């Protein structure tokens, strides 16, 4: 009978934390040599490849059969990635539009550590180095992906709070492999191509492998994801190219004749000018940007002596995206027309709401350049019962350049209005053409091109020594000790005008100048006891010293902590493994969370407190269900404390019969002082529940006359706590017959609770089962193969979600139904070793559910959880020589 733990472990053998010379242990008769190898979840080489932590393994074959085009898409479908994770979309600054990440257990991408061959991947500058971009890895070089579904801060460091993603690349490869794939989604646009070439050479002394991958994807416009003729469409803004104004009573006015002639607007203006001219910004924006990526990766291993190897890795990735957002709303600084202005349609000072459509849309080019170099020595000594050691140097740099066009300099725009030469509201009744030309001249005077540069650079030196301390047959103790030292430099800088906060349409102002030193020392012991019991104890000391520049001058801080972990496995039967683990976690604030200067954004919010206190307001305005964009300042917090917590897992792995195995794991994670941003809706809820904002560094600036929101201020805070628990279940079955082979795999994750306490004055709020927090997530894959032909069906499931209207004290969210997506693939291997695969993703063209009940707001779907591109066809060709 195959033993399940060994069949699974066979695909999880060479974690690059220890591709060093094998540690040899003699049997009593010294006739048999056992190789000890590294396994994700432990730094100790061992014989039994299952340990106390639960691991999911996705092989290269699994990835190919899934039909998903990238590593980030594969990871996003994970059942344990409970609430989905970020995928780059147009309209987000600091390079976010060009990156993707992973968010295990919903704890945030900065709580999931991503490794490449057992080494930390470079952090992105857009995340202050806290998150790795999972889209960087060439698909063609991936051997497998190991997902450690367990907190592992004591083993891997403070980022491994929710778990670890270890992407293992191919090592021993001889020959040449060419791969080409084309994908055509159901919506207009989004066509993509991918080409890769891999070559390698292996000799008696070592091996080397090179991979180059090029991919391109066309943009998909919002209007294709969400048709403009949809009856529930509602992507409209008061910031319009036909300017609106607000008088001292809080009433809005515009020019009805100009609004009737302007493209992409909805005329909500009466004949007397009351009401607003709304701009349809969703008609021109890109949802997914045009994207181009070039990636290069090499691995090598050369045997200098019988016991010493020189190892290395080099990676370079060049990502470029072209995003498009609607013409700039001139909104960073409130605009006014004085009462004595000759073109003021009233006799009082008025506030202006306008948009720079006449000079074009906001087009943003983002370039992300990432390099990573690793050089190391790995060796073995026969001192004692054998000693493994390694010393490594790693240098990683992520640089982001962003160039945004057709932004507006608010100061220049206000000055042009104050001159009294531009008839913004067409009080002179000029023709539409003459008025439009005049507006184009006005906006052009204030036109601004914004720039942003982010750079995250890391240098690390580390080493470890591992050995078997004791082995008398029934009792064995193995251990490892190691140290790490890392220096980090992080900057993100906007152009001076944006940094000073008077440029509309960009993301400037969030500048960071910071450095950090990280020092760590760790140890791990594993004891093999009688009765097939293994006990693992690990501990790590980690210290962060960081310094950054703020508006109040230079600030410094130090965070350090010792975190332990203990694990236990028991094998009462050869076919049954029972295991459990407990460990503490620790994560220091990243440099952006602490030192980011304040930047302006415009999220859509609904001021429920004001609307309830002022009944009978216009349904299409401030109190509409869709809400209204509100100017919001967001910045860092130098008073942040480190996050602490603990995680527990208990479970079993069971070979029920040959080729049929199951795994069941319960997990529980508790997070104290968790660092998170505070959303506008949270601030409004706290204001309403508490009659104020308590001790949080948050604020709502309301208009002194109307009491409506003028500005909101938010940022990062230490939320009192977050706790979550649930279960993971997986099953694998394989049937071999004379008519072909059938293999199946099933993964299910159930979230029992996801409770958060916003601050010490608030009660716990359980998000599990509410919108964007599905309790259930699952995937099922069935593959049939016969000789050179195979067929695969893969199903992805996202559970239903409750509207949460009662919990959020609103009425406009929708109950979301369960969502099922089906992917199918047919593959053939020709006698020439040519592999051909054709497939359809989202076979039934399943549409993502809308967040709102009875209407649709702009981008009111969760693209982290659902497929928005519709039915997609793809063809993949692969040739090996």
Mark whether 263 and 327 lie in a shared domain.
no
- Whether 120 and 113 have beta carbons less than 8 Å apart is answered as yes
Q: What is the mean pLDDT of the chain?
A: 84
What band does 73 get if pLDDT is binned at 50, 70 and 90? confident
List Cα–Cα distances, 11 to 14, 303, 379, 486, 518, in angstroms: 9, 24, 24, 31, 33
Per-residue pLDDT, 857: 66
Give the integer Cα–Cα distance in Å for 341 and 77.
Answer: 58
- Whether 393 and 460 have beta carbons less than 8 Å apart is answered as yes
> Exposed (0-12), middle (13-18) or buried (19+): which is 692, by Cβ within 10 Å?
exposed
Per-residue pLDDT, 2: 37
Strands 244-246 and 23-26: unpaired
Give me the CATH number covering residue 482.
Answer: 2.40.170.20
In eight-state DSSP terms, residue 766 is E
In degrees and rounded to multiples of 5, residue 847 shows phi and psi of -95, 140
Structure tokens at 666: 């319960």
Q: Summarize the confidence of residues 694-711 as an average pLDDT.
A: 72
- Whether 309 and 87 have beta carbons less than 8 Å apart is answered as no
Choose the most confident range, by mean pLDDT, from 21-30, 131-140, 487-496, 681-690.
Answer: 487-496
Q: What is the percentage of the chain residues whose pLDDT exceeds 90?
A: 46
- Whether 504 and 471 have beta carbons less than 8 Å apart is answered as no
Total domain count, the chain: 2
What band does 708 get if pLDDT is binned at 50, 70 and 90? confident
Q: Is the pLDDT of residue 483 over 90?
A: yes
CA dihedral (641, 522, 101, 374) in degrees, to 10, reads: 130
Structure tokens at 660: 């049929």
Mark whether 259 and 315 lie in a shared domain.
no
Of the candidates 377, 363, 378, the residue with the CA atom closest to the CA atom of residue 321: 363
Strands 286-288 and 290-303: unpaired
Per-residue pLDDT, 761: 67
Per-residue pLDDT, 571: 92
- Whether 845 and 187 have beta carbons less than 8 Å apart is answered as no
Q: Is the pLDDT of residue 796 over 90?
A: yes
Per-residue pLDDT, 570: 94
Q: Is the pLDDT of residue 689 over 80?
A: no
Q: Is the pLDDT of residue 587 over 80?
A: yes
Residue with more model confidence, 514 or 812? 514
pLDDT in tens, 194-218: 999 999 998 889 999 999 999 999 9
Choose the most confident range, by mean pLDDT, from 87-91, 178-182, 553-557.
Answer: 178-182
What band does 525 get if pLDDT is binned at 50, 70 and 90? very high
Q: What does R_g of the chain's alpha carbons equal in angstroms? A: 29
Q: Is the pLDDT of residue 4 over 70?
A: no
pTM: 0.82
CA angle (199, 38, 176) in 5-degree steps:
10
Residue with more model confidence, 438 or 331? 438
Mark whether 618 and 502 lie in a shared domain.
yes
Per-residue pLDDT, 44: 63
Q: Hey, which residues does 779 pair with through a beta bridge?
A: 747, 796
Q: Hey, which residues does 267 pair with through a beta bridge?
A: 277
Structure tokens at 400: 């982001």
Which position has the token pair 């310094």?
A: 547
Mark whether 340 and 438 lie in a shared domain.
no
Structure tokens at 219: 């943009």
Give the integer Cα–Cα distance in Å for 808 and 880.
Answer: 56
- Whether 540 and 153 have beta carbons less than 8 Å apart is answered as yes
Mark whether 19 and 105 lie in a shared domain.
yes
List Cα–Cα distances, 869 to 222, 376, 513, 821, 844, in angstroms: 11, 43, 39, 12, 12
Mark whether 29 and 85 lie in a shared domain.
yes
Q: Hey, which residues does 463 pair with through a beta bridge?
A: 391, 483
Per-residue pLDDT, 23: 32
Min mean pLDDT across 46-50, 247-251, 568-572 is at 46-50
Per-residue pLDDT, 554: 85
pLDDT in tens, 233-283: 777 888 999 999 998 888 899 999 999 999 999 888 898 889 999 998 888
Choose the most confident range, by mean pLDDT, from 10-19, 373-382, 619-628, 756-765.
Answer: 373-382
Mark whether 196 and 240 lie in a shared domain.
no
pLDDT in tens, 92-122: 555 566 667 788 888 888 888 888 888 888 7
What band does 32 get if pLDDT is binned at 50, 70 and 90? very low
Mark whether 186 and 259 lie in a shared domain.
no
Q: Is the pLDDT of residue 677 over 60?
A: yes
Min mean pLDDT across 668-682, 695-709, 839-853 is at 695-709
Q: Is the pLDDT of residue 47 over 80?
A: no
Give the integer Cα–Cα distance in Å for 79 and 800.
Answer: 15
Strands 112-116 and 163-169: parallel
Mark whether 396 and 487 lie in a shared domain.
yes
Choose the most confident range, by mean pLDDT, from 125-139, 500-514, 637-651, 819-833.
Answer: 819-833
Q: Summarize the confidence of residues 807-821 as an average pLDDT.
A: 87
pLDDT in tens, 133-157: 887 777 778 888 888 888 877 888 7
Q: Is the pLDDT of residue 158 over 50?
A: yes
Which position has the token pair 């220890």?
A: 18
Give the integer Cα–Cα distance in Å for 377 and 364.
Answer: 43
Domain of residue 249, residue span? 236-284+336-351
pLDDT in tens, 723-752: 999 999 999 999 999 899 999 999 999 999
Choose the most confident range, by mean pLDDT, from 310-314, 549-553, 672-676.
Answer: 310-314
Of the candidates 661, 780, 776, 728, the residue with the CA atom closest to the CA atom of residue 62: 780
Per-residue pLDDT, 33: 41
Mark whether 729 and 588 lie in a shared domain.
yes
List Cα–Cα distances, 85 to 327, 630, 727, 838, in angstroms: 28, 25, 19, 27
Mark whether 209 and 328 lie in a shared domain.
yes
Mark whether 529 and 639 lie in a shared domain.
yes
């Amino acid at each position: 009978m195959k033993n399940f733990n060994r069949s699974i472990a066979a695909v999880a053998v060479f974690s690059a934390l220890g591709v060093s010379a094998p540690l040899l242990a003699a049997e009593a008769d010294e006739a048999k040599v056992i190789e000890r190898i590294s396994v994700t979840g432990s730094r100790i080489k061992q014989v039994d490849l299952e340990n106390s932590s639960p691991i999911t393994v996705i092989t290269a074959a699994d990835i190919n059969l899934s039909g998903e085009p990238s590593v980030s898409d594969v990871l996003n479908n994970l059942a344990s990635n409970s609430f989905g994770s970020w995928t780059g979309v147009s309209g987000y600054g600091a390079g976010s539009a060009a990156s993707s990440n992973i968010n295990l257990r919903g704890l945030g991408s900065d709580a999931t550590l991503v490794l490449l061959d057992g080494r930390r991947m470079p952090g992105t500058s857009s995340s202050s180095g806290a998150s790795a971009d999972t889209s960087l890895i060439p698909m063609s070089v991936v051997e497998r992906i190991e997902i450690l579904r367990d907190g592992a801060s004591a083993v891997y460091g403070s980022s491994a709070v929710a778990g670890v993603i270890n992407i293992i690349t191919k090592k021993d490869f001889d020959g040449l492999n060419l791969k080409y794939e084309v994908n055509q989604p159901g919506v207009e646009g989004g066509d993509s191509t991918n080409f890769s070439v891999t070559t390698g050479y292996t000799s008696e002394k070592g091996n080397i492998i090179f991979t180059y991958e090029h991919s391109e994807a066309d943009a998909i416009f919002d209007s294709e994801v969400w048709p403009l003729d949809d009856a529930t469409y509602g992507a409209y803004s008061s910031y319009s190219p036909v300017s609106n104004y607000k008088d001292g009573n809080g009433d809005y006015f515009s020019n009805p004749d100009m609004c009737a002639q302007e493209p992409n607007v909805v005329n909500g203006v009466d004949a007397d000018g009351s009401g607003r001219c709304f701009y349809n910004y969703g008609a021109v924006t890109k949802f997914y940007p045009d994207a181009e990526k070039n990636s290069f990766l090499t691995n090598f291993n050369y045997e200098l002596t019988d016991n010493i190897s020189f190892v290395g890795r080099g990676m370079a990735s060049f990502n470029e995206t072209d995003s498009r957002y609607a013409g700039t709303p001139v909104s960073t600084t409130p605009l006014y027309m004085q009462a004595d202005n000759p073109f003021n349609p009233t006799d009082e000072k008025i506030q202006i709401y306008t948009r720079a459509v006449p000079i074009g849309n906001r087009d943003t080019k983002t370039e992300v350049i990432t390099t990573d170099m690793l050089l190391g020595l790995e060796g073995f000594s026969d001192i004692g019962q054998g000693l493994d050691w390694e010393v490594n140097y790693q240098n990683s740099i992520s640089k982001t350049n962003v160039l945004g066009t057709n932004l507006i300099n608010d100061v220049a725009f206000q000055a042009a209005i104050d001159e009294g030469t531009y008839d913004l509201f067409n009080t002179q009744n000029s023709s539409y053409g003459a008025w439009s030309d005049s507006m184009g001249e006005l906006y052009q005077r204030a036109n601004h091109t914004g720039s942003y540069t982010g750079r995250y650079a890391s240098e690390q030196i580390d080493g470890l020594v591992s050995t078997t301390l004791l082995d008398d047959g029934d009792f064995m103790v193995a251990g490892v000790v190691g140290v790490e030292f890392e220096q980090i430099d992080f900057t993100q800088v906007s152009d001076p005008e944006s940094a000073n906060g008077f440029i509309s349409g960009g993301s400037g102002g969030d500048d960071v100048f910071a450095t950090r030193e990280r020092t760590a020392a760790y140890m791990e012991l594993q004891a093999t006891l009688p009765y097939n019991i293994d006990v693992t104890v690990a501990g790590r000391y980690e210290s962060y010293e960081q310094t950054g520049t703020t508006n109040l001058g230079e600030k410094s801080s130090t965070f350090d902590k010792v975190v332990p972990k203990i694990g236990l496995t028991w094998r009462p039967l050869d076919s049954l493994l029972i295991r459990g683990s407990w460990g503490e976690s620790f994560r220091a604030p990243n440099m952006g969370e602490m030192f980011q200067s304040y930047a302006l954004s415009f999220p859509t919010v609904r001021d429920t407190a004001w609307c309830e206190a002022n009944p009978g307001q216009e349904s299409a305005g401030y109190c509409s269900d869709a809400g209204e964009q509100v100017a919001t300042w967001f910045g860092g917090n130098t008073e942040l404390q480190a996050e602490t917590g603990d995680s527990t897992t208990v479970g079993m792995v069971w070979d029920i019969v040959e080729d049929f195995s199951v795994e069941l794991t319960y997990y529980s994670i508790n997070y104290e002082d968790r660092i998170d941003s505070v959303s506008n809706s949270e601030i409004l809820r706290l204001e309403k529940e508490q009659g104020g904002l308590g001790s949080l560094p948050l604020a709502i600036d309301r208009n002194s006359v109307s009491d409506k929101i003028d500005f909101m201020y938010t940022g990062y805070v230490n939320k009192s706590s977050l706790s979550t628990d649930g279960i993971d279940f997986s099953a694998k079955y394989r049937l071999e017959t004379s008519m072909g082979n059938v293999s199946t795999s099933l993964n299910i994750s159930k979230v029992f609770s996801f409770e958060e306490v916003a601050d010490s004055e608030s009660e716990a709020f359980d998000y599990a089962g509410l919108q964007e927090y599905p309790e259930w997530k699952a995937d099922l894959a069935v593959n049939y193969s016969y000789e050179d032909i195979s067929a695969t069906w893969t199903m992805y499931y996202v559970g239903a979600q409750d509207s949460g209207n009662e919990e959020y004290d609103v009425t406009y969210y929708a109950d979301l139904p369960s969502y099922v997506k089906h992917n199918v693939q047919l593959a053939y291997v020709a006698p020439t070793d040519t592999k051909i695969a054709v497939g359809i993703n989202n076979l039934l063209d399943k549409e993502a559910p809308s967040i709102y009940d009875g209407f649709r707001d702009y981008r009111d779907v969760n693209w982290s959880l659902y497929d928005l591109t519709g039915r997609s066809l793809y063809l993949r060709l692969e040739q090996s020589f």
